[in-house]
Amino acid sequence: MSATHTLPGLVNAHSHAFHRLLRGRTHAGPHGAPGDFWRWREEMYRSAEALTPQTMEQLATAVYAEMAASGWTAVGEFHYLHHRPDGTPYGGADAEGEHAMERALARAARRAGIRLVLLDTCYLRGGLSPAGEPLALSPVQQRYADDGVAGWAARWERLHDALVQEDCGSGLITLGAAIHSLRAVDADQLAELSEWASEHPEVPLHIHLSEQPAENAAVEAEHGMSPTRLLQEHGLLGPRLSAVHATHLSDEDIALLGDAAATVVMCPTTEADLGDGIGPAHELADAGAVIALGSDQHAVVDPLLEMRALEHGERLRSGQRGRFSPSQLVEAATGAGRRSLGLLSVAETEDAVLLDAASVRTAGGDPAQSPLTATAADVLSVRVAGTEIAREGHHMKLGDPADLYRALFADHPELRSFR
């Protein structure tokens, strides 16, 4: 039998399941021109508009099965496709009922046997102009938005009750919360969200933060301060907050996040794919922030490559090796992710990933250094809550994740059309 190495269950702290539709579709524009950010955003909006609860469930089942086969045992789903494409809520006479999209994601996670923390997202305006002027919701954004903070909060409470009722004691599904970004809420709404957060201290709270310089400039123009300072002014910085990306930070921002012991969820393969930049992970960790990892848009679904990309980004940015040790990289993908998603009460021994320590990639190496050598191809077995859910690239119940994707696109060719 080959030598093996066991890791604790790996935790994907930031996911947009529907972004998996973008893989391999945004790298070229018209007439073979290179694909820029706007090409990516156009395809992202098209995908968001096309999904139904049925196709969301089929897609998410494939995504979560791919995650399971790759070694992820838990996922934080940053979810904002709440309503019908025209913005009207699901429910009433709909066969799917209320919370159709959210319940579809929960069913997908249960089928895949992966832990899901559904980060139900508050998204209330269309963004900010470069001058810091609020933008109205675009047609496709209508399905993201609720009727103000009160409408979002009331829906969150009903969703919580619905998920508890449907979970049937599996213990795999929990509900968290997110603010999409400081472009998506105004100052009064942020104050309301801060009050809601203070009344729900046990709920993990996530936010996209300083992903691009343009975001920083627009928030500065509207509020006269950086996004991080704005969160601090509203009492939202703290250990329960996870700031996603945090790529473009000032020294003051880094100090604020560190002093608050906030988690920063970095998504290295997505940040590279989108050209966002390399965030100051080492400086944040030195300041006291906790670094976790996510796969975000799923350009790559491979926890070992996310670990490696975190260290490689630091090496490229600093010109130095060993910015994070292998054990620190494992902690970013395990304990830090569990902290980010509020899963610290789950016994660490319940979830585990078994790696091949004698493959063509790992043979002869120190198994403890697997984050710098192994890939998802070396994952032999994945267990969640003591049950094996994946083995050697295949899901134990769902089979080869590639077959799930092929069936999705065969059943729904509208999801793979190109523009």
Residues taking part in catalysis = 245, 296
Q: Nearest Cα to 269, choosing from 316, 315, 302?
A: 302
Q: What six digits make up the tokens of 249?
A: 């930070």
Q: At what angle do helices 401-411 and 53-70 cross, to 10 degrees?
A: 160
Q: What six digits make up the tokens of 168?
A: 């049937």
For residue 218, the number of C-alpha atoms closer than 13 Å in the C-beta half-sphere is 22
Residue 177, amino acid: A
Q: Nearest Cα to 176, choosing from 106, 281, 235, 274?
A: 106
Identify any residues that bridge with 179 across adjacent strands, giving them in sequence order. 122, 207
Rg (CA), the chain: 20
- The whole-angstrom separation of Cα 400 and Cα 69 is 9
Beta strands in 180-232 (DSSP E): 205-209
Beta carbons of 200 and 160 less than 8 angstroms apart: no
Three-state DSSP state, 389: strand
Q: What six digits make up the tokens of 239?
A: 């250990």
User: Own/partner pairs for 343-348, CB < 8 Å, 24+ apart?
Assistant: 343/11, 343/74, 343/115, 343/117, 343/174, 346/115, 348/8, 348/9
Q: Nearest Cα to 294, choosing from 265, 274, 272?
A: 265
Beta strands in 54-182 (DSSP E): 72-79, 115-122, 127-128, 134-135, 173-179
Listed in sequence order, the residues at least 6 apart from 40 whose beta carbon sits closer than 8 Å to its beta carbon are 22, 26, 274
Residue with tokens 């940040």: 271
Beta carbons of 382 and 69 less than 8 angstroms apart: yes
Residue 264, amino acid: V
